[in-house]
Structure 1
């Protein structure tokens, strides 16, 4: 256990699996109390909380389906209810927007409904979760947005997803200027391909996985912990002088 985040309260949306889970577990090892946000997979969220507890950390699950009307208000109400034992005053220090909805369609095949849902989860939810968090977020706090290499590298088959993550990068820049006077840093972390449960198609196709790894300067595809460690740095005091940045977390993909 580290003391890098001792006494801090961290919120991680989409914290039940993948990068979110790895981040929640890393925060807990660094001493933070962690709110593990989830939308659908209660079993995975509870398992994450239990794993953290077994390792001596403190965490609780917060259920809200993001991308639906009123989601921000419901999220913070659920946070207050679930975290009553851990966070009596409702204040937080770190907010990580990790929850996201993917889209794998080129423009000609993209349904309007799918576009709207991607934007609702990936853009609108972080906007208004943050808006309602501002009175809760302590000065010198941290906001970390999970973006994607798809926002800066041409990916026609990820069009809606890439557009949503590009919007999140602009949100990062503007919010960093807005909240700088309070000492709050705001950054994006942009992973490339990361081997999470959403990457099963690569596990099932070693040839395709090898082709994708060939595009990475460091010669392999990412793991959730690779990204979580970067997030942990930004969340810590060591990251205090970094704000308004999009941090490439792709191992040097498509250089």
Structure 2
């Protein structure tokens, strides 16, 4: 059985990814900072929970004994946008939440990655359209992934970014989403609807499949046409 680790797997997109991978027959471990949320999700989707802060080198190191000895799929989903903070603190926090988490977990698990393993990191439409500190952090994820693809490609390991647009049913916006903003974001799509966590999970599931072995170093947009890749 192939084994997967999904960071930030307790809610929203991460939960949907974990659930989809379980349905496809993988043995899935979800991680995150909130042990209670993780345990509930793990029971509901059929995964195993390991709670730790992916932004802390010490916490990642301490969690390694509880993580799989061999990893076939790694999904770096942990991240998000920091709320109110002063300028310097906000930029550092967004970089830590979205880039450092992925780098630390991937580096720690690299010796455990099986040949032909799959790495997918969740980016954002903001990485190419702006978005201040959050967009800049997601742009950095794309640059890091491009290098990672070449560093690990000799072993048949792929590394890609899935870049969602506006996705509902997540904790990302908190109470910051207004009806006006929602309608504006939806109006930018070609298919006239918001994205769902399941949309993103389906793209991740394909990129982590054995059939996706010749797709690497890429940014796959899941945004309903709100930003066109050409």
User: What is the TM-score of this pair, normalised by structure 1?
Assistant: 0.83
Render the CA deviation track for 1:26-73: whole Å, top value 9, x for unaligned.
000000010011112x232112111123xxxxx210111122342331
Higher-Rg structure is 1
Do the aligned partners of 2:32 and 2:50 also contact (CA within 8 Å) in 1?
yes
1:142 to 113, 118, 125: 118
Unpaired runs of 5+ residues, structure 2, are: none
Q: Secondary structure at the match of 2:182?
A: helix
**CA distances 1:114-149 after superposition (whole Å, capped 9, x unpaired):** 322222221122112111211100000000010111
Q: How many residues align?
A: 227
Distance 2:37 2:86 in 1: 30
1:104 is displaced (CA, Å) by 5.4
Please name the residue that 2:107 is paired with.
131
Alignment of 1:46 with 2:25, yes or no, is: no
Q: 1:125 to 1:15 in 2, by over 3 A?
A: same
Contact map agreement 2:122 2:163 (CA 8 A) in 1:
yes
What is aligned with 1:33?
27
- Say whether residues 1:22 and 2:16 are aligned partners: yes
Which of 93, 114, 125 is the matching residue for 2:72? 93
Kept after mapping to 2: 8 A contact 1:95/1:143: yes
The CA distance in 2 between the partners of 1:120 and 1:75, in whole Å, is 18
Q: 2: CA distance between counterparts of 1:97 and 1:166?
A: 15
Give the aligned partner of residue 64 of structure 2. Answer: 76
- Of 217, 238, 242, the residue aligned with 2:211 is 238
The 5-angstrom pairing of residues 143-182 of structure 1 reads 143-155=119-131, 159-182=132-155
Give RMSD over aligned pairs.
Answer: 1.8
Partner of 2:181: 208
Question: Is the Cα–Cα contact under 8 Å of residues 186 and 192 in structure 2 kept in the other structure?
Answer: yes
Using structure 2 for the length normalisation, give the TM-score: 0.92
Residue aligned with 1:70, SS: helix
Q: After superposing the two structures, state which structure 1 stretch, 173-182 or 42-51, moved more.
A: 42-51
Q: Is the 8 A contact 2:54 2:105 kept in 1?
A: no
Structure 1's 124 and 199: CA in aligned 2 closer, same or farther, altered over 3 A?
Answer: closer
Q: Please tell me whether the aligned partners of residues 21 and 48 of structure 1 are also in contact (alpha carbons under 8 angstroms).
A: yes
> Are 1:64 and 2:59 matched, yes or no?
no
Contact 1:100–1:122 (CA<8 Å) still a contact in 2?
yes
Shift of 1:200: 4.8
